[in-house]
Amino acid sequence: MTAVEIDGDRLLADLEELSAIGRCGRGVHRVAYSPDDVRAREWVAGRMRDAGLEPVIDGVGNVLGRAPGARAVLAGSHVDSVPRGGRLDGALGVVAALEAARALGGGVDVVSFADEEGTFTGTLGSRAFCGELPEAERARLVAADGRRFDEALAGTGWAGRPLVRLDPSRHVAFVELHIEQGPVLEAGPERLGVVTGIVGIRRLRVTFRGRADHAGTTPTALRRDAGAAALRYGTAFLDAIARHGGPDTVCNVGAIRLEPGAGNIVPERAELLVEFRDLSAERLAALDEVVAGLAAPIARDARVEEEVEQVIHQDGVAMDRGVIEALERGARACGAPARRMPSGAGHDAMIVGRHIPAGMLFAPSIGGRSHSEEEDTAPEDLVLAARALATAIAELAPA
Amino acid sequence: MTAVEIDGDRLLADLEELSAIGRCGRGVHRVAYSPDDVRAREWVAGRMRDAGLEPVIDGVGNVLGRAPGARAVLAGSHVDSVPRGGRLDGALGVVAALEAARALGGGVDVVSFADEEGTFTGTLGSRAFCGELPEAERARLVAADGRRFDEALAGTGWAGRPLVRLDPSRHVAFVELHIEQGPVLEAGPERLGVVTGIVGIRRLRVTFRGRADHAGTTPTALRRDAGAAALRYGTAFLDAIARHGGPDTVCNVGAIRLEPGAGNIVPERAELLVEFRDLSAERLAALDEVVAGLAAPIARDARVEEEVEQVIHQDGVAMDRGVIEALERGARACGAPARRMPSGAGHDAMIVGRHIPAGMLFAPSIGGRSHSEEEDTAPEDLVLAARALATAIAELAPA
């Protein structure tokens, strides 16, 4: 297998030009449906046209550039960002797909999905593209700042346009190049990662309710201490995941709030936000059982009431074995054998992968940083990753 | 020993009249130096005059009613309250002292100390009365709302008056009746408590600093998780106090804050407010050593930095054995043997007890409630406690 030659300078120049739209320090601020997100999508459509593709911006802001012919590999990612985010998250996958389309001269449809970052809902565009976002649900979407989806869309000029849709009879596979957003590849020795699957997530809000008492005058045995219950729950949660999780399981206690929150008052109410992630649905189910058993005995011992609310309950999505192997061969052909690894964050490939064979390639993130202007990747790694992507696409492309 | 007869109806009527000043729901709002606090102090001074005492309101708002003669037992408490507090906290001790003075007809000085609740600083009045509040420190006092002590005092009309002072050649002892503010007496069988001492307090602010990372993409081994360190510290703190503390040691983790506080971000910074209390200085010193060893190994394991800041470091004050025994005999004479118990909250007797023999009597708090309008005590318990106080004062009074 021979590596596909791409124009690395053109790739880096495209990234630079795109990063000027909504520039914010060293990063970008291109929140979905903002004027800069609209400008970025129009820029992408223009670049598609220059590459010989036929671009369409649809009724939710998805940009699809179709190649001539009846069948194609679908490649891309997104160009919206989190508030004050990095210049590569999403953008790299779109620009690298464009470069592959140009290098291969056909057989590649390029896509830039809308609102991957979830201003209204996570992976909004790929869900709509795959028929997973019913119109009734779309109509109810509201951003954290209270803005309704319809209002936001009205500002773009795209409202009412028909949706572009995944076409399994046309799209033989989907590939997405993305930055890792973690520190694994940077630690080496591999410079590229091939994603085995996108992990499932469980996020729980755990609340304990006790009684506020004077912390000096109330003997320990007479307290109903919601704060102590929260501490014991959080520690038991970390220990349980460490003990029962697999080598790739990760977990986090991201927030704790004690009320009323004074040094001399026994907490009346305590709330924790906890989550765990793993690719394996079996492991997640086993951990569900372990975690389900944690709160009640702790609450009983502390004489408090507990409530456990599921915030996210989502299984992982395995990537397609054929696409994984094509990406591995692409990386090897470029002289950079790839590491197989799960993706701990969600991506559009997670949605598309439920419908057609899909795979993802990871480029290293310096310091593991992302979702901030510190996000970066060495230029030679950007070019290497785009070349490996193009090489894999060449193999996957219909004859 | 015979119980002193008091007028229970007059006692309850006084409490009712006083509770009308600054009434707030079923409680009172008489924050130090507010117009209602001023009115309450003037009411106390009037009642002192009616009881044959010579009242003085001094330059910080202390109200002292002197009995005829060269020597006297000093009795009282305070009439300021926390914001939206109860009607008995402090007020009971002042009104019961007045009733004792009336019942005994001499040998009792009654005092109502200023700002016990710490609008400017805790036990401000008794500290000034005992010479423990230097004028330079007083001048620097500022309330939580930014108001300066001098400004607050200017509104009372008392600024510039000389201070009344504790006089060890006159005051043979200090006794303070107070509500328990805890649930111990209510659980029975004793209806009254005699305070062995006022506990010392250690309060610490413990901060861990790590690094914010994506909780999905960053393997556990590569994290610097300040939140996990805080959970392990809080749990270890509770366990260490339970293991090394004595039967009366209490502790509390009253507040925890994780930053940035999102479900999918590993906490970068975590702060806990922890405290422990005990009467014994030796036990507190031993616990200081145990607690001092907790943070560093936890921080090291989590690869985060720790900082431990002392917020309160205050030893307990033992009550006088002779006064304790006089109060016990007083309670027994009223048919209500008292329970010996430490006070977990601070009181004016803690300050005065450093200078002359002092003791405290506790009346039960319904549901252990205080510092809220729910604070209450059964009328028969109020009368019983005031009678036991008067009986003890009769024994302590100079011949």
Inter-chain CB proximity A273 and B263 less than 8 Å: yes
Q: Which of A117, A217, A218, A343 to mutate to test the interface with B (most CBs of B within 10 A)?
A: A217
Q: How confident is the model over B209-226, as a mean pLDDT?
A: 93
Q: How confident is the model over A276-301, as a mean pLDDT?
A: 97
* pLDDT, tens only, B104-146: 999 999 999 999 999 998 899 999 999 999 999 999 999 888 8
Mean pLDDT for chain A overall? 96
In contact, A112 and A77? CB cutoff 8 Å: yes
pLDDT at B112: 98
C-alpha torsion angle, residues A331, A333, A337, A339 (rounded to 10)? 30
pLDDT at B149: 96
In this predicted complex, what is the ipTM? 0.85
Q: Look up residue A111 and give its two tokens.
A: 């896509």
Our CA-based measurement puts residue A153 at a distance from the nearest CA of chain B, in whole angstroms, of: 28
User: Where in chain B does DSSP place strands (E)?
Assistant: 23-24, 27-28, 54-57, 63-66, 72-78, 108-113, 171-179, 192-198, 200-209, 213-214, 250-259, 265-266, 269-278, 305-314, 317-318, 338-343, 358-363
| Contacts (Cβ under 8 Å, ≥6 apart) of B217 | A180, A181, A182, A184, A343, A344, A345, A368, A370
For residue A272, what are the β-bridge partners? A206, A256
With a cut of 90, say whether residue A182 has pLDDT above it. Answer: yes
Inter-chain CB proximity B311 and A263 less than 8 Å: yes
Inter-chain CB proximity B234 and A238 less than 8 Å: no
Q: How confident is the model over A183-191, as a mean pLDDT?
A: 94
B232 CB neighbour count, 10 Å cutoff: 24
With b for 16 or more beta-carbon neighbours within 10 A and e for fewer, the A297-319 pattern comes to: ebbeebebbbebeeeeebbbbbb
Q: How confident is the model over B156-160, as a mean pLDDT?
A: 95
Instruction: Collect all residues of chain A within an 8 Å Cβ-Cβ radius of residue B221.
Output: none
Inter-chain CB proximity B368 and A222 less than 8 Å: yes
CA angle B142, B77, B274 (to 5 degrees): 55
Domains of chain A: 8-198+316-396 (3.40.630.10), 200-314 (3.30.70.360)
- How many C-alpha atoms does B275 have within 13 Å on its Cβ side? 28
Instruction: Collect all residues of chain A within an 8 Å Cβ-Cβ radius of residue B220.
Output: 242, 250-251
pLDDT at B245: 97
pLDDT at A311: 87
Q: Out of B218, B232, B371, name the one closest to residue A183 (CB).
A: B218
Inter-chain CB proximity B254 and A267 less than 8 Å: yes
Share of chain A above pLDDT 90, in %: 91
In contact, A97 and A76? CB cutoff 8 Å: yes
CA–CA gap between residue A66 and residue A58 (Å, rounded): 13
Q: Residue A388: which of A336, A347, A325, A353 has the closest Cα?
A: A336
| Contacts (Cβ under 8 Å, ≥6 apart) of A187 | B222
| Peptide bond before residue A189 is cis, with ω within 30 degrees of 0 | yes
Share of chain A above pLDDT 70, in %: 100
Residues in chain A: 399
Closest residue, chain B, to A271 (C-alpha): B256
Q: Are strands A54-57 and A63-66 parallel, antiparallel or unpaired?
A: antiparallel
A380 CB neighbour count, 10 Å cutoff: 11
pLDDT at B202: 95
Inter-chain CB proximity B275 and A250 less than 8 Å: no
Inter-chain CB proximity B254 and A258 less than 8 Å: yes
pLDDT at A107: 96
* pLDDT, tens only, B295-347: 999 999 999 999 999 988 989 999 999 999 999 999 999 999 999 999 999 99
pLDDT at A162: 97
pLDDT at B311: 86
pLDDT at B262: 86
CA–CA gap between residue A177 and residue A326 (Å, rounded): 13
Helix (H, G, I), strand (E, B) or coil at B135: helix
With a cut of 80, say whether residue B383 has pLDDT above it. Answer: yes
Any A CB within 8 A of B371 CB: yes
pLDDT at A13: 98
The residue with tokens 């805890």 is B182
With b for 16 or more beta-carbon neighbours within 10 A and e for fewer, the B240-258 pattern comes to: bbeeebeebbbbbbbbbbb
Inter-chain CB proximity A368 and B227 less than 8 Å: no
Q: How confident is the model over A203-212, as a mean pLDDT?
A: 95
* pLDDT, tens only, A4-27: 999 999 999 999 999 999 999 999
Our CA-based measurement puts residue A182 at a distance from the nearest CA of chain B, in whole angstroms, of: 5
Mean pLDDT for chain B overall? 96
CA–CA gap between residue B44 and residue B64 (Å, rounded): 9
Torsion sign (Cα): B207, B208, B214, B220: negative
Closest residue, chain A, to B272 (C-alpha): A263
With a cut of 80, say whether residue A399 has pLDDT above it. Answer: no
Any A CB within 8 A of B184 CB: yes
Any B CB within 8 A of A128 CB: no
Which of A:92-111 have CB within 8 Å of B?
none
Q: How confident is the model over A114-120, as a mean pLDDT?
A: 94
CA–CA gap between residue B151 and residue B140 (Å, rounded): 11
Any A CB within 8 A of B126 CB: no
pLDDT at A348: 97
Type of residue found at A158: W
Phi, psi (rounded to 5 degrees) for A83: -55, 130
Instruction: Collect all residues of chain B within an 8 Å Cβ-Cβ radius of residue A217.
Output: 180-182, 184, 343-345, 368, 370
In sequence order, what DSSP letters do the residues of B76-96 get, joined into one string? Answer: EEE----TTB-SSTTHHHHHH
Q: CB-based burial of residue A132 (10 Å sphere; 0-12 exposed, 13-18 middle, 19+ buried)? A: middle
Our CA-based measurement puts residue A194 at a distance from the nearest CA of chain B, in whole angstroms, of: 14
Residues in chain B: 399
Closest residue, chain B, to A341 (C-alpha): B217
pLDDT at A91: 98
Radius of gyration of chain B (CA): 23
Any B CB within 8 A of A317 CB: no
With a cut of 90, say whether residue A341 has pLDDT above it. Answer: yes
Q: Which of A264, A273, A301, A374 to mutate to test the interface with B (most CBs of B within 10 A)?
A: A264
pLDDT at A1: 78
Q: Could you tell me the pLDDT band of residue A145, with boundaries at 50, 70 and 90?
A: confident
Q: Look up residue A237 and give its two tokens.
A: 């949660």
Instruction: Collect all residues of chain A within an 8 Å Cβ-Cβ radius of residue B216.
Output: 182, 199, 201, 250, 277, 343-346
pLDDT at A262: 85
Inter-chain CB proximity B187 and A222 less than 8 Å: yes
CA angle B298, B302, B303 (to 5 degrees): 115
| Peptide bond before residue A183 is cis, with ω within 30 degrees of 0 | no
Any A CB within 8 A of B370 CB: yes
Inter-chain CB proximity A254 and B262 less than 8 Å: yes
**A:B CB pairs within 8 Å:** 198
Our CA-based measurement puts residue A284 at a distance from the nearest CA of chain B, in whole angstroms, of: 14
With a cut of 90, say whether residue B179 has pLDDT above it. Answer: yes
CA–CA gap between residue B295 and residue B308 (Å, rounded): 8
CA–CA gap between residue A75 and residue A388 (Å, rounded): 13
Phi, psi (rounded to 5 degrees) for B217: -105, -10
Q: CB-based burial of residue B162 (10 Å sphere; 0-12 exposed, 13-18 middle, 19+ buried)? A: exposed
Enter the pTM of the model: 0.86
Q: Could you tell me the pLDDT band of residue A281, with boundaries at 50, 70 and 90?
A: very high
In contact, B31 and B119? CB cutoff 8 Å: yes
Give, for B384, the enclosing helix (H) or strand (E). Answer: helix B379-396
Q: How confident is the model over B30-34, as a mean pLDDT?
A: 96
Inter-chain CB proximity B242 and A220 less than 8 Å: yes
In contact, A225 and B234? CB cutoff 8 Å: no
Q: How confident is the model over A99-122, as a mean pLDDT?
A: 96
Helix boundaries (H) for chain A: 8-19, 35-50, 91-104, 124-129, 135-140, 149-154, 226-244, 281-292, 295-302, 321-333, 348-352, 379-396
Q: How confident is the model over A114-128, as a mean pLDDT?
A: 94
Task: Provide the CA B49 distance to its chain's centre, in angstroms.
Answer: 28
Q: How confident is the model over A233-250, as a mean pLDDT?
A: 97
Q: Residue B91: which of B26, B6, B15 has the closest Cα?
A: B15
Q: Out of A225, A255, A368, name the one closest to residue B261 (CB).
A: A255
Instruction: Collect all residues of chain A within an 8 Å Cβ-Cβ radius of residue B182.
Output: 213-214, 216-219
Any B CB within 8 A of A235 CB: yes
Q: How confident is the model over B198-216, as a mean pLDDT?
A: 94
Any A CB within 8 A of B246 CB: no
Torsion sign (Cα): B293, B299, B300, B301: positive
CA angle B348, B352, B354 (to 5 degrees): 125
Q: Look up residue B183 and give its two tokens.
A: 């649930």
Our CA-based measurement puts residue A352 at a distance from the nearest CA of chain B, in whole angstroms, of: 20
CA–CA gap between residue A63 and residue A78 (Å, rounded): 9
Q: How confident is the model over A341-370, as a mean pLDDT?
A: 95
Q: How confident is the model over A147-154, as a mean pLDDT?
A: 94
The residue with tokens 């979905």 is A32
CA–CA gap between residue B264 and residue B262 (Å, rounded): 6
Share of chain B above pLDDT 90, in %: 91
pLDDT at B399: 72
